Structure 1
Amino acid sequence: MLKRRDFLKTAGATAAVLLSRRGMAAQVAGGANSNLSFSSESMELELSPTAPEFLSLNIDGLAKSRRGANIVTARKGDGGYGVSASTSGGVRRVEYRAEGAGADSPAMWTFVISGSRILLTSQWSGEFNSGPFIFRFDLNQVHSTVLGLFAKSGLLSAPALLHFPGQGSMRLTSSAPDLELTYTSNRPQQAAMLSLPGADFVHQRVDYTLDVTAIYPDLPGVGDDPRFDAFRRNWLNALQLNPSLQALANNTASDSCAFCYYEFADIAALTPPLADGLTALDVVRQTLDRMLAGGFAYGLPIAPDHPTTTSDTFPSMVIAAGNCIRAGHSDDWLAANYSGVRAWAESMLASDSNGDGLIKYSESGNSGIWSNGFPKIRPSNWWDTIGFGHEDAYANALAYRAYRDMAMMAVKAGNSSDAGRYQAAADKLREAYYDRFFDPATGVLAGWRSADGQLHDYYFLFVNGIAIHYGLVTKPQANSIMDKLLAKMKAVGYNNFNRGLPGNLITVPLKDYVHRTPDARYGGGVLEDNSDGFQNYENGGATGAYAFFTLAALYDLGREADADKILFPMLDEYGRCGFEGKDAKGHSNDWRRWDGTPMGYEGLLTDDYYTMLAVPLRQTESPWQDGFRPEMPLT
């Protein structure tokens, strides 16, 4: 512990040593630090003997004594504190005092640990500066995140929710909510930090409460079925807040992609409150506010590789706004932001250059327009290494949903004229969709129709799934499409469903592939048929990303057995944290070859966890009788 005159000299000196292990033994028996360890059904931890910080921490939000990887790193060296510990009635009390302070002086930091709760108390001292309590998250071990709302100062407000993929969450509340928290992340170091300020002259005692929990939708048949334990622990994995951007992102230390915002909002819309006064949709609204204020996210125009907005970006943001409005308590937000959200929808309408009802992308999507090496121009949607362009079947499915959401918001805003326009746009799009994208040669929907009129069809599972789930094809058409896709999947030999699904079942040839390198690292190689790139990254690599739409189509059609063959192996893999982490080469498990070889790079990709949405759909699906699937928003 430092006296005030020395404090500023060393504040921020945080050289860290990684203390990694899987499954630390239960509470340490004997030894000098045995009183600084604690183990229960909900958590396992060890505190430092020299400073108020965790040496190790892992939790189980389901209170089943499941042990996970260490969430934190710790500093080296002497922290300048003395420590005392006691146990009474199963409650561990650990007090940290400044070195040299008397035993009867107030503890700078006190931990009271019991069951599923940690109470952290900081008390002010006129002689010593207690300093903050800091969580130092090791993202290579656990891709932790903190969900909350940022104040105008740029600091995070309490309450907040700390979420740990594979383990569960800790709800953080404060007795002094006006004391704001410092939350940062560092991509190169794969680290994040949350700092809780200590007591000061104004706030002479501050209590922080950390409650271990698991937050997920309350669904029939889930709570007592261990097959869904991974769903319950990992429901929130799709929501990762990057503090540098103050926006939801690919992960805590990665990019924010505007074309993913609808995924975040779909998960958030079904999520129970994170804490009193804090919902997941609040965090989504915060992300949208940033965009409405002129913020940047991947998918918007940026020189040189995105000359225009991708076709799925504006639909994604409109759908995210629609989720916020449909859930309620957002009328004032809609009134303040209707014109901004409307501008996104108007941009979609304006892209329909020939008036056929389908949105268009600026790049033609013609075969052979892509050059070798790193992409100089990106294609029209999330799948940014495949040559989607012009009329994009996936983006147009999103646009259909977005137009309907925009019509709903127009009604809420009292604008009947806009409501009619957007509903008419949705109807016109659906009328054109099937005939424009159906490929009679394969019996499934193609990925895109290029400006030269050609269809580009590589058995895209997600394209066909989203079209069925969003009601763009009739039930007989949908069943026929799924028959063809499942037969093709069997024919090509893909059955490793624990790894998710490929986006495409056959290779995308080089003429339609965007990212080409001699080693085919990102799915584009050197052979004309691109067989040397197949199964790498987006070219048929197995992933949890967008597997939801195939599952949704099957559940929509009442084909539960077919869907369950995919879903439950994936849930098992989520339970093993199999979609995250990196190998010795730095390749991550968010994309894998069919044999399991990692081909991703993010470490954790939030899109992989959108598949969790299949569980609420499975448990609450309404029968689809005939015609187009009716709109049945999960919210």
Structure 2
Amino acid sequence: MNDDALDLLALIERPPPLGGMGFRNRAGRTQAIWRDADPGTGIVGRRIVHARTMQLAGPAQLRRLGVRPGRGYHKCGSDDQWDWVRAFRLVVHADGQWQTVLDIRELPTPSGSDAPSLWYDLGGLSASAAIIEVLQCGLDDQWTPWNLADGAFELIGARPPVPIQRERRLANRGVTLQPLPSGVHAEERPGEVRYRTAGYEVGFALGRAGFSYLALDDEAAGSTMIDLLHRAPGVDLQGIMLHPVGGSSLVGPALRCDVEGHVRVEGNRVRYEVSVPAAGQNFTLDWRMYADRIELVAEREGENSIEAWESAAWQIAFDPGTAATATLGRPRKVGRTGLLELPVLLHAPGHGSIRVIAQGETATWRSDADRQNSWLTGELKLGETPTDRGTTILEPGSHRCAVTWLMAGHGIEASQSAPAPVARALRRAAITGLSYRADTGTLSNNSISIHCPMSMDTWSALATSYGEVMPGIDAVEFLRDSLERWLDGGPGYGSGTMRDGSQLRPAEDEYLITGVGTMLGLGEYLDHSRNSAWARRYSDRIKQKLEQLAARDLDGDGLIESPHRRGVSGDHDWSTNWYDVVSFGWKDAYVNALLFKALTLLGEVLSDLGAPELVAGVAAWRVKLRDAFGPTFLNPETGWVAGWRSADGRLHDYAFLAVNGVVANSGVLSAEVSRQVIGALWEEYRSVGEPDARLGLPNNLWPIPDEDLTEPMHGFPHGFYLNGALSHSQARHFVDALSRVGMMPESERLLGALCETLADGTAFGGSQTGGDWRYWDGAQCGYEGLLTEQFGVMALAIERHRLRG
């Protein structure tokens, strides 16, 4: 290798002064792109692929491209698997045009994760930009993962030009804070002007066009002390953004503000006039603050067409550690992922919501999540056209839109008879479990976390009960998107393909809950929507999934089993159900009770929708499962259902609340037996001290020994995380079961307590803050901070206490 040759994808620009601030200063960046599937794959909708991009400030000679194995999609906490590229395309930007340089199909399977790179000669081609699109991978075929694209390539070339580093400040044309509308207060602070009302507080930077502060209070009590925005020294992710293809970033996070212009403040009005001379772009952003809303008139005028890696007329970047803010809207599955039609709803859990409503056909919104760097961004785009490369074209000419940012409570109105904590939770938290990620096209753990299709039955319970998120946007649309991704083979935690030595196998052979929970969610979606056309469109995929599920009955008794997670004490297997670090295995009561419910519903709804052939044999399977369930799982010593029966025949019973709740709600046991089961477990719940339900319900009332836990759980006491910690996650099953067996007062008591802390925001926190699980004394022992499963109980609150028209 020549002395001046280096890996251009690993190139890091000189960081700005004051240290640790170079978030977007890598020349190689990874992005997600919507694509049609190759013919013959059976994929019905669009898929997401990932690409590694080279974003240089100017041309450099490209000498060779190396392809090596890399990390795969993270499907299980027990194993971080490697993956490999099977097909890719390299396109480069040279002389102002894109050209395909390599289109490689059917790459050989590497011998292992440490296999050497395959090299392709590029002959010294001069280019300022490149996109290496992974079209096919070893594990999940057409759905290529971020991790693989991010680490599989080396692009060796000559050192490129040094990017321009230029930070300019806007001229201040004056600040006058009078007159102000009723209910609006204002003050000038160092470097910003701040507006405050009872429901929100917003700051505007004076030296650069962007928000400097944003806080919400959906109860309009003036509690606006917590800033929701992302902050880091020297890095500004707020406001105008522009990075043209083939050149330096002109307006970006750090040492990237090559602009001219000024700001003027007059009463409730903040007006920015900003030009980006190097790109021929001019922006006018005229903001006005009112007691219940903010209004923006945004204009962009382009002298010519610009292709850009990053662009926004106004970007807002949230700190997910403060609140895992979700963006709910109708996705446009074109170009780089995350694009949405306006209006959108920005929901900051525990703080409030903003409806972003635009007038103007050229305005769109883009949402993106970056867990590694811990930010969530929303981009207002004016007159932009997405490309199939993942870039965007800023169209020339004048583009204008009027945007209203409506600061208002966004929830469900309760009936007059609803208990106060439930009514407050319906107003503040009913929507929080609908944590949609537009950049992945699915509901997820939260808005910056991985998507777990095993949670589909929680999402279906919430979405089908909630209704419209905004006029014209029903919550079931997010559920449908999530189902489509799963049916079309998109990977998720506990779903997709995993390696077993030299062989590949479905992750759902280990996580049985995924195939079961998703089929129940599918049944509830179809039962709610009655979308027969959609069912016909996906009929082949539905049939295939049902056949795969039936094949998991390994011994013909109607119950499904995992051949890989056998639940034997001392093996420390991971789980076959949602409680992934508890060694549920082989015959799993939770999974099989949920399966019974799914088979019951699918048999009915698919027949009603004119597709009885899809559920042929399901009725007989259901009967066989029901007959085997009680003898397999009922524990005569306790009177309730055990968690699992392992492959060695042993019954494992630690007084599982959620498991028995699922069983009672499924109908797999008779009503009389279900009453006995839940009654006995309720008495045990009381006998162990009836822990404070405001903190959540424990998964298990009795300690699970290390022999029935995965190794990461060893050494912790009962009450830690999934070994009996208190959480709202999965609490809905036991609360619902109490009402189904005639114990409505007990059910309502638990629901009210759970809703109290969902309503005041103390049951959860920002991303990775740990508030989602607690010891019985209230100390935190979780990890995510907020999980979609915590909000399943809101489906019960909606069902029982929503105000009916």
Normalised-by-shorter TM-score class = 0.7 to 0.9
Deviations 1:526-574 (A, max 9, x none): xxxxxx4321111111111111111111222342332233222322222
The answer to whether the 8 Å contact 1:122/1:207 transfers is yes
1:183 offset after TM fit, Å?
Answer: 1.8
Task: Say yes or no: does 1:602 pair with 2:760.
Answer: no
Instruction: Return the letter of the residue paired with 1:142.
Output: A
Give distance in 2, aligned partners of 1:230 and 1:553. Answer: 21
Deviations 1:179-211 (A, max 9, x none): 443322111232111111245635521223322
SS at match of 1:123: strand
1:507 offset after TM fit, Å?
Answer: 1.0
User: Where does structure 2 lack aligned partners over 5 or more consecutive residues?
Assistant: 1-56, 58-127, 129-162, 169-182, 237-253, 384-394
Q: Who is 2:579 aligned against? A: 383
Q: Who is 2:157 aligned against? A: none
Give distance in 1, aligned partners of 2:727 and 2:430. Answer: 17
Could you say if the C-alpha distance between residues 131 and 546 of structure 1 is closer, same or farther in structure 2, counting changes exceeding 3 Å?
closer
Give distance in 1, aligned partners of 2:510 and 2:264. Answer: 59
The answer to whether the 8 Å contact 1:262/1:319 transfers is yes
Could you say if the C-alpha distance between residues 40 and 425 of structure 1 is closer, same or farther in structure 2, counting changes exceeding 3 Å?
farther
Could you say if the C-alpha distance between residues 413 and 231 of structure 1 is closer, same or farther in structure 2, counting changes exceeding 3 Å?
closer
The answer to whether the 8 Å contact 1:133/1:198 transfers is no
The answer to whether the 8 Å contact 1:390/1:449 transfers is yes
Could you say if the C-alpha distance between residues 420 and 214 of structure 1 is closer, same or farther in structure 2, counting changes exceeding 3 Å?
farther
Alignment partner for residue 266 of structure 1, among 461, 465, 470?
461
Q: Who is 1:72 aligned against? A: 229
Instruction: Return the letter of the residue paired with 1:144.
Output: T
Task: Say yes or no: does 1:156 pair with 2:352.
Answer: no
Instruction: Return the letter of the residue paired with 1:352.
Output: D
Q: Who is 2:543 aligned against? A: 342
The 5 A counterparts of 1:314-353 are 314-328=515-529, 330-353=531-554
Give distance in 1, aligned partners of 2:636 and 2:568. Answer: 20
The 5 A counterparts of 1:7-18 are none
Q: Who is 1:509 aligned against? A: 705
The answer to whether the 8 Å contact 1:168/1:234 transfers is no
Deviations 1:552-602 (A, max 9, x none): 11222342332233222322222332232379xx76011111122222111
Deviations 1:92-136 (A, max 9, x none): 3321113899xxxx9711123323332222113457999521110
Alignment partner for residue 741 of structure 2, among 557, 580, 602?
557
Give distance in 1, aligned partners of 2:752 and 2:676. Answer: 24
Total equivalences in the alignment: 578
The answer to whether the 8 Å contact 1:338/1:413 transfers is no
Root-mean-square deviation (CA, aligned residues, Å) is 3.4
The answer to whether the 8 Å contact 1:352/1:360 transfers is yes
Instruction: Return the letter of the residue paired with 1:607.
Output: E
1:28 offset after TM fit, Å?
Answer: 5.4
SS at match of 2:377: strand
Could you say if the C-alpha distance between residues 333 and 118 of structure 1 is closer, same or farther in structure 2, counting changes exceeding 3 Å?
farther
1:287 offset after TM fit, Å?
Answer: 1.9
The answer to whether the 8 Å contact 1:95/1:107 transfers is no
Q: Which has the higher helix share?
A: 1
Could you say if the C-alpha distance between residues 420 and 308 of structure 1 is closer, same or farther in structure 2, counting changes exceeding 3 Å?
closer
Could you say if the C-alpha distance between residues 177 and 541 of structure 1 is closer, same or farther in structure 2, counting changes exceeding 3 Å?
farther
Alignment partner for residue 108 of structure 1, among 284, 298, 314?
284
Give distance in 1, aligned partners of 2:651 and 2:597. Answer: 23
Instruction: Return the letter of the residue paired with 1:137.
Output: F
The answer to whether the 8 Å contact 1:107/1:123 transfers is yes
Instruction: Return the letter of the residue paired with 1:139.
Output: P
Task: Say yes or no: does 1:480 pair with 2:676.
Answer: yes
Give distance in 1, aligned partners of 2:536 and 2:600. Answer: 18
Give distance in 2, aligned partners of 1:291 and 1:467. Answer: 25
User: Where does structure 1 lack aligned partners over 5 or more consecutive residues?
Assistant: 1-5, 15-25, 372-376, 526-531, 622-633
Using structure 1 for the length normalisation, give the TM-score. 0.82
The answer to whether the 8 Å contact 1:590/1:598 transfers is yes
The answer to whether the 8 Å contact 1:248/1:284 transfers is yes
The answer to whether the 8 Å contact 2:720/2:774 transfers is yes
Task: Say yes or no: does 1:358 pair with 2:559.
Answer: yes
Instruction: Return the letter of the residue paired with 2:430.
Output: W
Alignment partner for residue 429 of structure 1, among 625, 628, 637?
625
Alignment partner for residue 795 of structure 2, among 598, 613, 616?
613
Could you say if the C-alpha distance between residues 52 and 223 of structure 1 is closer, same or farther in structure 2, counting changes exceeding 3 Å?
farther
1:334 offset after TM fit, Å?
Answer: 1.4
Give distance in 1, aligned partners of 2:752 and 2:551. Answer: 42
Give distance in 1, aligned partners of 2:166 and 2:524. Answer: 41
The answer to whether the 8 Å contact 1:318/1:405 transfers is no
Q: Who is 1:19 aligned against? A: none
Give distance in 2, aligned partners of 1:411 and 1:11. Answer: 64
Using structure 2 for the length normalisation, give the TM-score. 0.66
The answer to whether the 8 Å contact 1:345/1:403 transfers is no
Give distance in 2, aligned partners of 1:342 and 1:414. Answer: 14
1:613 offset after TM fit, Å?
Answer: 1.9
Could you say if the C-alpha distance between residues 217 and 575 of structure 1 is closer, same or farther in structure 2, counting changes exceeding 3 Å?
closer
Could you say if the C-alpha distance between residues 33 and 561 of structure 1 is closer, same or farther in structure 2, counting changes exceeding 3 Å?
farther
The answer to whether the 8 Å contact 2:488/2:541 transfers is no
Q: Who is 1:624 aligned against? A: none
Give distance in 1, aligned partners of 2:427 and 2:166. Answer: 37
Task: Say yes or no: does 1:212 pair with 2:407.
Answer: yes
The answer to whether the 8 Å contact 1:140/1:190 transfers is yes
Q: Who is 2:481 aligned against? A: 286
Q: Who is 1:94 aligned against? A: 270
The answer to whether the 8 Å contact 1:161/1:172 transfers is yes
The answer to whether the 8 Å contact 1:73/1:137 transfers is yes
Give distance in 2, aligned partners of 1:352 and 1:323. Answer: 23
Could you say if the C-alpha distance between residues 31 and 208 of structure 1 is closer, same or farther in structure 2, counting changes exceeding 3 Å?
closer
The answer to whether the 8 Å contact 1:41/1:60 transfers is yes
Give distance in 1, aligned partners of 2:314 and 2:531. Answer: 35
The answer to whether the 8 Å contact 2:272/2:284 transfers is yes
The 5 A counterparts of 1:513-532 are 513-514=709-710, 516-517=711-712, 522=713, 524-525=714-715, 532=716
Q: Who is 2:590 aligned against? A: 394
Deviates more, 1:557-566 or 1:462-471: 557-566
1:66 offset after TM fit, Å?
Answer: 4.7
Give distance in 2, aligned partners of 1:576 and 1:120. Answer: 31
Could you say if the C-alpha distance between residues 30 and 213 of structure 1 is closer, same or farther in structure 2, counting changes exceeding 3 Å?
closer
Q: Which has the higher strand share?
A: 2
The answer to whether the 8 Å contact 1:393/1:448 transfers is yes
Alignment partner for residue 356 of structure 2, among 172, 177, 193?
172
Give distance in 1, aligned partners of 2:224 and 2:682. Answer: 37
The answer to whether the 8 Å contact 2:273/2:285 transfers is yes
Percent sequence identity is 24
Give distance in 1, aligned partners of 2:332 and 2:743. Answer: 44
Alignment partner for residue 183 of structure 1, among 367, 370, 380?
367
1:489 offset after TM fit, Å?
Answer: 2.0
Give distance in 2, aligned partners of 1:439 and 1:489. Answer: 17
Could you say if the C-alpha distance between residues 12 and 511 of structure 1 is closer, same or farther in structure 2, counting changes exceeding 3 Å?
farther
Deviations 1:132-167 (A, max 9, x none): 211101011111111232422124121322111012
1:33 offset after TM fit, Å?
Answer: 7.5
Q: Who is 2:147 aligned against? A: none
Give distance in 2, aligned partners of 1:382 and 1:12. Answer: 50
The answer to whether the 8 Å contact 2:694/2:754 transfers is yes
Task: Say yes or no: does 1:313 pair with 2:509.
Answer: no
Q: Who is 1:631 aligned against? A: none
Give distance in 1, aligned partners of 2:314 and 2:166. Answer: 12
Which 4+ residue blocks in structure 1 deviate beyond 6 angstroms? 8-14, 127-130
Give distance in 1, aligned partners of 2:580 and 2:403. Answer: 43
Could you say if the C-alpha distance between residues 267 and 424 of structure 1 is closer, same or farther in structure 2, counting changes exceeding 3 Å?
same
Give distance in 2, aligned partners of 1:262 and 1:213. Answer: 29
